[in-house]
Amino acid sequence: MRLELSRTTAIATILALSGAFANSASAAESLQDVMKRRNLSEKDMLAAAKTYTPSGGRDEFLTFSSSGHAGSIIVYGIPSMRIYKYIAVFTPEPWQGYGFDDESKALLKAGSPQGQTINWGDTHHPNLSKTNGDYDGQWLFINDKSTPRIAVISLKDFETRQIVVNPVLTNEHGGAFVTNNTEYVMEASQLPSPLGHKYAPLDKFNDEFRGGITYWKFNKDAGKIEQENSFTLELPPYSQDLVSSGKGPSEDWAFLNSFCSERYVGGIESGKPPFEAGCSANDTDFMHIINWKKAEAVFKAGKFTKINGMAVIPLKTVIDEGLVYLVPEPKSPHGVDVSPDGKFVIVGGKLDSHGSVFDFAKMKAQIDAKKFVGKDAYGFPILDMKESLHTQVALGLGPLHNQYDSKPCVVYTSLYVDSQIVKWDYCQGKVLDKIAIQYNVGHLLTMGGDTMHPDGHYLVALNKLSIDRFNPVGPLHPQNHQLIDISGDKMELLYDLPIGLGEPHQAVAIRADKLKPTIRYKYGTDSRTEEESKFAVRPGSEKIVRTPGKVEVFGTVIRSHYNPEIVEAEEGDQVTFHWTNSERAEDETHGFAISQNDVNLSLEPGKTASATIEHAKAGVYPYYCTEFCSALHLEMEGYLMVRPKGSAIEKASTNVGTVYTKADFDKQYKACLDTQSVIDKVVAYITSTNFKDFPTAVGQVEDATDQLKFGTEARAKADDYAKKEDWQNATLWAGQWWQYQVKAADIGLRTKTYLEQNGARTVK
């Protein structure tokens, strides 16, 4: 339950607190001083109190927003509006190693049309997997409008798992929308084209060009789209737009908008009016009412042809089997959104000032009675518009997208031209409230707004322009997401989030407690497939395998070294590194960059990733860690030595650098013994508490124990060499023992602080 402070109580509390501070002896500014200095009103303070999240605090909701043609997904929290992550999807992203390790390169290649790797995408609509119409927190999908593709992202590790290319359509817009139980991910075309990437001249537009909607079968357990179980419905060459799945009573159906049902083909260069004129001539376009459940049965009965390996149900079969019906909708519609109870479909008409509420039961009755007012040019039955409508409400100029509230019958619609959001009652057909937005709003986002049980609370306006809202950063402005409180009767603007990637179209938000991401990978996981990597090795079994023309490194990384550190190769060799991060500690990620090469890996705890240099050029290539992983991070380094063709292999040199004596060894050894007594004290403190009740502390203790174990091994080596009076190796191994001690002490102190701050008790 959310604690709702009334406005006056909140302000009284803030002022009382500020009074308390003013009375204190410190010279710190009071709240009133700050308000005055920064010119903040009480309303601002209230908005701040509703969004401000103290250090270490958590958000109530997580948002997944498209980044538009930046090709990724932006993750941010609500109400704090703090950005957490950019999930790389269609576009390479070096921090995550995405598009730079062999595994993700393979994923991007498999997700590109044959013969090329496409390194960007135009993301529009992220959508979350659903079970019984509500988010289940497992999978995320997003579409690429430019190259018709759908990506699957795992919410276990927030990584892209799969990209599928549509072999039939040339572009799309109506993706990635899911059916009520994520049986299918829907993807509808936008610009009509000959199916299957064929050529046909534009004067054959009516006969050879087509639209289509693909039903990608999703296997929820495997987290995979199965192309062999997917099918496409051939549709008339209208510009199909967005699609919304039915729910409850309409669960077997989907609703797909279209514009340009005029089938106009522009040609401004030859004196014709542009597309925009010819595509908005008619008063109405067609909403497609799709019986996908029946289409699935038709597909399973084998009534399809195959185009480029994809099952396509031909136009005639679609009509004959009663898979798609049309109903006129106000011209150039955009948003189509099914209500939480599945009874209504609300359509926004970009060039119409109404929100049109279609009644599913009324449409279904006409379909069942085969009562049609006519057919389109291809023979699709058309329902009566008036008889299909529940109501139409004058909302304002340019209604685009709709999102539902947790309150029954309440919906929010963006008004693109008016730059406003309108809150209205779609049952009674009346406007309830309006709020101004900066500027030209597109999609809206309410919490769980497209599920059967929306959470309410907040609304985000995904604006198209930010004009004068932020410090200028050049002609390309940040994108602007505006957070609005919708818990009361009046909408209240709370916060502006400038986003430095664009252009975000749609976003979805899920209650944070529905997500259970992992903290570390199972040892040796290929994160791009989530399967065990065949290249993983355990510490102690690292190896370099040489075959003619090839060097393959199977190594491990841990604070703060690579094993191996020196790798020899010959000019022209193919050199592959497979690294496994053998850390168990939370957030102990290492990187791997090789100078002068397009290589950077992100190695999270437990992960295995690979990088290949196809034809090594002679030279010295330092490699190093790109994440500041410990105090000795800068020392986490190595060399790839590529000797000129034909020269002999060299051993890593041991006779360079400082020479150590017995005195050096004794000094280092004493430092280790002193450090050990500090560690013993920290250990004594931790074990005197109930640290076992804190999973975070338990994880840290395990990690520290690992480090101490490695330290003991290094100490044994130092002792051995000391016995042989090899002071060089004895000193270096004693130094390594000390490195492990420092890491263990660091973790130990972190644990001590954590326990103190989280109220651990003494138990013995």
- Tell me how far apart the alpha carbons of residues 437 and 446 are, in angstroms, rounded to a whole number: 16
Select from ligand CUA, ligand CUK, none the partner in contact with residue 77, using the beta carbon and a kind-dependent cut-off of 5 to 8 Å.
none
Select from ligand CUA, ligand CUK, none the partner in contact with residue 633, using the beta carbon and a kind-dependent cut-off of 5 to 8 Å.
ligand CUA
Nearer to ligand CUK by Cβ, of 443 and 578: the residue is: 443
Nearer to ligand CUA by Cβ, of 234 and 583: the residue is: 583
Nearer to ligand CUK by Cβ, of 364 and 505: the residue is: 505
Select from ligand CUA, ligand CUK, none the partner in contact with residue 505, using the beta carbon and a kind-dependent cut-off of 5 to 8 Å.
ligand CUK
Contact 402, 337 (CB under 8 A): yes
- Of the candidates 29, 27, 30, the one whose C-alpha atom is nearest the C-alpha of residue 14 is 30
Residue 55 token pair: 């250090």
- Tell me how far apart the alpha carbons of residues 324 and 326 are, in angstroms, rounded to a whole number: 7
Select from ligand CUK, ligand CUA, none the partner in contact with residue 590, using the beta carbon and a kind-dependent cut-off of 5 to 8 Å.
ligand CUA
Select from ligand CUA, ligand CUK, none the partner in contact with residue 731, using the beta carbon and a kind-dependent cut-off of 5 to 8 Å.
none
Nearer to ligand CUK by Cβ, of 94 and 502: the residue is: 502
Residue 555 token pair: 């190594």
Select from ligand CUA, ligand CUK, none the partner in contact with residue 584, using the beta carbon and a kind-dependent cut-off of 5 to 8 Å.
none
Contact 115, 125 (CB under 8 A): no
Select from ligand CUA, ligand CUK, none the partner in contact with residue 629, using the beta carbon and a kind-dependent cut-off of 5 to 8 Å.
ligand CUA
Contact 99, 602 (CB under 8 A): no
DSSP H helix total and E strand total for the chain: 13, 44
Select from ligand CUK, ligand CUA, none the partner in contact with residue 743, using the beta carbon and a kind-dependent cut-off of 5 to 8 Å.
none
**How far, in Å, are 2, 53, 325 from residue 12 at the CA level?**
19, 20, 59
Smallest separation, CB 176 to ligand CUK (Å) = 11
Residue 56 token pair: 């270490």
Nearer to ligand CUK by Cβ, of 242 and 760: the residue is: 242
- Tell me how far apart the alpha carbons of residues 706 and 177 are, in angstroms, rounded to a whole number: 46
Nearer to ligand CUK by Cβ, of 31 and 400: the residue is: 400
**Which amino acid is present at 697?**
A
Half-sphere exposure of 680 (CA within 13 A, CB side): 6
Select from ligand CUK, ligand CUA, none the partner in contact with residue 247, using the beta carbon and a kind-dependent cut-off of 5 to 8 Å.
none
Sort strands 72-78 and 83-88 into parallel, antiparallel or unpaired.
antiparallel
Contact 187, 167 (CB under 8 A): no
Smallest separation, CB 591 to ligand CUA (Å) = 7
Select from ligand CUA, ligand CUK, none the partner in contact with residue 506, using the beta carbon and a kind-dependent cut-off of 5 to 8 Å.
ligand CUK
Smallest separation, CB 258 to ligand CUK (Å) = 14
Residues that bind ligand CUK (CB under 6 A): 124-125, 173, 242, 334, 400-401, 442-443, 505-506
Residues that bind ligand CUA (CB under 6 A): 560, 590, 625, 627-629, 633, 636
Smallest separation, CB 280 to ligand CUK (Å) = 16
Nearer to ligand CUK by Cβ, of 369 and 476: the residue is: 476
Using DSSP's 3-state secondary structure scheme, residue 313 falls into strand
Using DSSP's 3-state secondary structure scheme, residue 360 falls into helix
- Tell me how far apart the alpha carbons of residues 12 and 737 are, in angstroms, rounded to a whole number: 58
**Could you tell me the sign of the dihedral formed by the alpha carbons of 237, 242, 245, 249, in that order?**
negative
Smallest separation, CB 341 to ligand CUK (Å) = 23
Nearer to ligand CUK by Cβ, of 125 and 559: the residue is: 125
Smallest separation, CB 121 to ligand CUK (Å) = 13
Smallest separation, CB 126 to ligand CUK (Å) = 11
Contact 422, 353 (CB under 8 A): no
Smallest separation, CB 97 to ligand CUA (Å) = 14
Q: Longest Cα pair distance anywhere in the chain, in angstroms?
A: 101
Smallest separation, CB 506 to ligand CUK (Å) = 5
Select from ligand CUK, ligand CUA, none the partner in contact with residue 331, using the beta carbon and a kind-dependent cut-off of 5 to 8 Å.
none
- Polymer length in residues for the chain: 764
Residue 41, Cα to own-chain centre: how many angstroms?
36
Q: 79: cis peptide before it, omega within 30°? A: yes
Contact 505, 69 (CB under 8 A): no
Select from ligand CUA, ligand CUK, none the partner in contact with residue 242, using the beta carbon and a kind-dependent cut-off of 5 to 8 Å.
ligand CUK
Q: CA angle 573-576-582, nearest 5°? A: 155
Select from ligand CUA, ligand CUK, none the partner in contact with residue 334, using the beta carbon and a kind-dependent cut-off of 5 to 8 Å.
ligand CUK
Rg of the chain, C-alpha, whole Å: 31
* 53 CB neighbour count, 10 Å cutoff: 15
Nearer to ligand CUK by Cβ, of 156 and 350: the residue is: 350
Select from ligand CUA, ligand CUK, none the partner in contact with residue 607, using the beta carbon and a kind-dependent cut-off of 5 to 8 Å.
none
Smallest separation, CB 633 to ligand CUA (Å) = 4
Nearer to ligand CUA by Cβ, of 52 and 628: the residue is: 628
Smallest separation, CB 124 to ligand CUK (Å) = 4
11 membership: H or E segment, kind and range? helix 7-23
Smallest separation, CB 463 to ligand CUK (Å) = 10
Q: 439: cis peptide before it, omega within 30°? A: yes
Nearer to ligand CUK by Cβ, of 342 and 399: the residue is: 399
Nearer to ligand CUA by Cβ, of 275 and 639: the residue is: 639
- Tell me how far apart the alpha carbons of residues 738 and 673 are, in angstroms, rounded to a whole number: 9
- Tell me how far apart the alpha carbons of residues 181 and 188 are, in angstroms, rounded to a whole number: 19
Nearer to ligand CUK by Cβ, of 401 and 607: the residue is: 401
Nearer to ligand CUA by Cβ, of 482 and 581: the residue is: 581
What is the distance in angstroms between the CA of the first residue and the CA of the last residue of the chain?
38
Q: Which residue is nearest to ligand CUK (CB)?
A: 442
- Tell me how far apart the alpha carbons of residues 483 and 47 are, in angstroms, rounded to a whole number: 10
Smallest separation, CB 592 to ligand CUA (Å) = 9
Smallest separation, CB 198 to ligand CUA (Å) = 51
